[in-house]
Amino acid sequence: MTDVTSSKSARRPHHWRRELVELAAVFTAVAVVDMVAKLIAYTPDGPFLLLAAAVAILATAGFHIWWARRHGLRPEPPGVPGTGTATGGAVRSGGGPAPGRVPAAGGHGTPAADGPANTPGDSGASAEQPVPEETVLRRLRTTVRDEPGSLAALCAALADLRADVVSLQTHPLAQGTVDEFLLRTPVSLPVERLRETVVAAGGTDVWTEHADAHDLVDTPTRVLELATRTALDAAELPLALRRLLGRCTIRSRPAVTAAGRPDGDPPPVEGVLEGTVIKLRDPRGGTITVERHHLPFTPAEFARARALMELDARLGPRTPDGADVLTLPRGEEIVVRRADQDDLAAAKEMQARCSDRTLRLRYHGPAGDAHRYLDHLLNPRHGRTLAVETSSGLLVGLGHLLWDGDETEVALLVEDDWQRRGIGSELLKRLVALARDSGSQGVYAVTQSSNTAMVAAMRGLQLPLEYQVEEGTLVITARPEPAETDLRCLHDRAGR
């Protein structure tokens, strides 16, 4: 319910005394005019006097109209200050600003009083239209007091900086509230001034960073998209947690070490929230740790991470179906598909058929330790794996894509008898495509300078490359162009 009452519903009481007095005044005026007219009419110059009086009255009326138009003495239109009505903009019932926009004053739902508002009738004032200033998207996060008017004061301060609030999320705390804004600010606005203004308006623990067009997606839509990706592919869980919680580091620790000994106590089922660290129990065994040193986690973010983990636990182990049949230049047919820990036995058999030189180039260590890494590499918590099989079902190649923050690592292993047939290049192209779809900013390979096959495969990507050499170890980084992921094609892409 609003406080504005329509004119039809505002009925005034019936004042019959006033109407009686007005009627008596009309009769009295008619009688006086009739008496004056009769007195003047019976004089010798009566008609001329009546005509002169009429002309004088018309001249006076015309002069008054001219004077009023010349000096702008027009009646005030409704909605200007002093009339008791407000037409400049609607105030949301409940006292808050409309979603996605800042209020026009320092109070919650209070109209601005900094100057006279322009009304539709002010056609005489012709002001030049300002040139639109270039803007940039920024994310702003701060803690405010949980009391009426604190958010309105912060929004008013942002409005003074010409910062438009595109979206707003609130994270309630035991003491105060964390407000996370997506702002469109002028490019010329310094970050330090933005922070100082927020602090002056009552904000604490101010944090800001640049945003991009992906942040324009509202939170419910983004959460549903991440849930869909996780439901289709278990390897998407670390990526979904990272996109859900922002820039953070995710580590997966197995329940037992490579030697078979327990690796610490797992966290409780409900998880643990410790400031900048979240610990969750992995349904596959072990612990998933999420760290964000620059910003503490809120209880709302912790609840979202737990919900995503519970979804993964209920769906169980899963790998996208689908395989591609390819024909090599020599005429052999191979099958490229996704692999997981169910392929551990076949992967060990393939490594047993590989030469010591091939294993050393792949693992940068003794060939006898190669089997120790397979279980980790095939775990979808750490990335994705593509397997290459012959038409008879023999595993002859593996390609790994391992999550590493904003970047991903690629690693290839092809059995000796099937090398130099284009299998490694095909695996690498597909892994880079998966990295691009996951939003990775870079794909790097750690190899040796003598591994000419891996260097040639990276060059064959036709992407900008960066080289770093340290003590015989060569790190080659490719920068794929970002690509949008269509949820309807996610299942097909993940299976390639």
- Structure-token pair, residue 79: 């909605």
Residue with tokens 């278990």: 234
Distance, CA of 212 to CA of 320 (rounded, Å): 30
Q: For residue 20, what pLDDT band results from cuts at 50, 70 and 90?
A: confident
Q: Across residues 329-354, what is the average pLDDT?
A: 92
Q: Which amino acid is it at 292?
A: R
- Structure-token pair, residue 50: 């009546």
What lies within 8 Å, CB to CB, of 282 at 6+ separation is: 252, 255, 266, 288, 381
Q: Across residues 199-219, what is the average pLDDT?
A: 87
CA distances in angstroms from 92 to 98, 111, 154, 228, 303, listed in the order given: 6, 11, 18, 35, 30
What lies within 8 Å, CB to CB, of 167 at 6+ separation is: 100, 181, 182, 216, 218
Residue 68: strand, helix, or coil: helix
Q: For residue 112, what pLDDT band results from cuts at 50, 70 and 90?
A: very low
**pLDDT in the model for residue 127:** 52
Q: What pTM did the predictor assign?
A: 0.60
Q: Which tens digits make up the pLDDT trace of 344-373?
A: 999 999 999 999 899 888 888 776 777 788
Which range, of 15-19, 95-99, 174-178, 332-336, averages the lowest pLDDT? 95-99
Which range, of 36-40, 232-236, 398-402, averages the lowest pLDDT? 36-40
* CB-CB neighbours of 134 under 10 Å: 8
Q: For residue 406, what pLDDT band results from cuts at 50, 70 and 90?
A: confident
Higher pLDDT, 205 or 258: 205
Q: For residue 13, what pLDDT band results from cuts at 50, 70 and 90?
A: low
Q: For residue 249, what pLDDT band results from cuts at 50, 70 and 90?
A: confident
CA distances in angstroms from 205 to 156, 219, 465, listed in the order given: 19, 22, 39
Distance, CA of 288 to CA of 312 (rounded, Å): 13
Cα four-point dihedral sign 332, 355, 376, 248: negative
* Mean residue pLDDT across the chain: 79
Q: Which amino acid is it at 152?
A: A
CA distances in angstroms from 486 to 239, 318, 320, 407, 491, listed in the order given: 16, 20, 16, 21, 10
Give the strands of the sheet with 249-253, arranged side by side. Answer: 249-253, 287-291, 277-281, 272-274
Closest to 325 in 3D by CA, of 315, 317, 316, 335: 335
Rounded to the nearest 10 degrees, the angle between the axes of helix 237-245 and helix 299-315 is 160
Q: Across residues 232-246, what is the average pLDDT?
A: 87
Residue with tokens 């230049």: 329
Distance, CA of 255 to CA of 262 (rounded, Å): 6
Residue 139 has pLDDT above 60, yes or no: yes
Q: Across residues 273-292, what is the average pLDDT?
A: 89
Phi, psi of 222 (to 5 degrees): -65, -40
Q: For residue 128, what pLDDT band results from cuts at 50, 70 and 90?
A: low
Q: What share of the chain is helix, strand, coil (3-state, %, to 5)?
A: 35, 25, 40
Distance, CA of 386 to CA of 400 (rounded, Å): 7
385 with 338: CB under 8 angstroms?
yes
